[in-house]
Amino acid sequence: MKTNNEIKNSDQPNQNGNYVNMDTLINRVKDEDAKNLRLTKSFQWLYFALFIVYFFLIVANPDSDITIVKRISGICYLASMTVFALIFRNGYKEYRSIDYSLPVIDMLRNVANRYRLKVGKLLLLSIPILLMDVGLTLSFYDDLLPMSSVNRVLIIQVFYIPTMTISALIGVWVWSKKQKPLRDNALKLIEELERD
C-alpha cells in the first residue's frame, strides 16, 4: 500500500484519463473551502441584518397603515430569513472545522462527502423558500384585486416558481462546474488508495 507521501507526490488518472496531482487537488479543495467559508459567513450576517431591519420596518412598526395581513407576511419573511441564517451558520461551522491534517484517505473521504449534492440539504432549503413564498403571496394578495383568490395566488406563483427554479438550476450548474470535479477526483484517488 502506498504511503501518504507517495500518494501526495504521484499523479493519479481521473475518470477522463487525465492525471490528477494530489497537491494540486488539495490546493483546489482548500481554495474552494476558503471561498465557501467566506460566503457562508457573509450570508449568515446578511440574513441576520435583514432580519433586524425587516422586524422594525414591518412587524414592530406601530404604523396603523400596516395591515394584519402585511404583518403576518412579515413574520413569514422573518421566519424564512431565520432558517436561511441558520443554514448558512451551519455551513460556516462545517467549513471552519475542516481538518487538512487528517490522513490523506480520510481527508479525501471528507472532500467527497462535503461536495456531494445532498437531497437532505435541498429539502432543508425548501423550508425557507416556502416561507418566503407565503410571505410574498400575502404581501401582494390585496394588491391584485379584483381578481379571484385563486387567480391572485396563481399570478404570484407564475413569477415566484420560475425564479426559484432558475436559481436552483444555477446552483446545480455551479456545483457541477466547481465542486463536482473536486469530488470526482477525490473519489478516484480514494479508489486508487484502497486498491493499493
Q: Convert the pLDDT of each residue in 95-153 to its tens digit.
A: 999 999 999 999 999 999 999 988 888 889 999 999 999 999 998 877 777 778 888 88
| 32-88 residue pLDDT tens | 999 999 999 999 999 999 999 988 888 788 888 888 888 899 999 999 999 999 999
Query: First vs last Cα of the chain: how many Å apart?
Result: 5
Q: 10 Å Cβ neighbour count for 154?
A: 12
Scan for cell 478516484, then name that residue.
188
- The DSSP annotation for 110-124 comes to HHHHHTS--HHHHHH
H/E element, 90: helix 68-96
Domain extents in the chain: 4-195
In this structure, are residues 80 and 131 in contact, taking their beta carbons and an 8 Å threshold? yes
Is the pTM for the entire model greater than 0.75?
Answer: yes
- Exposure string (b/e) for 99-122, b if CB count within 10 Å is 16 or more? eeeeebbebbbbbbebbeeeeeee
Radius of gyration of the chain (CA): 23
Cβ neighbours of residue 140 closer than 8 Å, sequence gap 6 or more: 152, 156
Residue 161 and residue 105: Cα distance in Å, rounded? Answer: 41
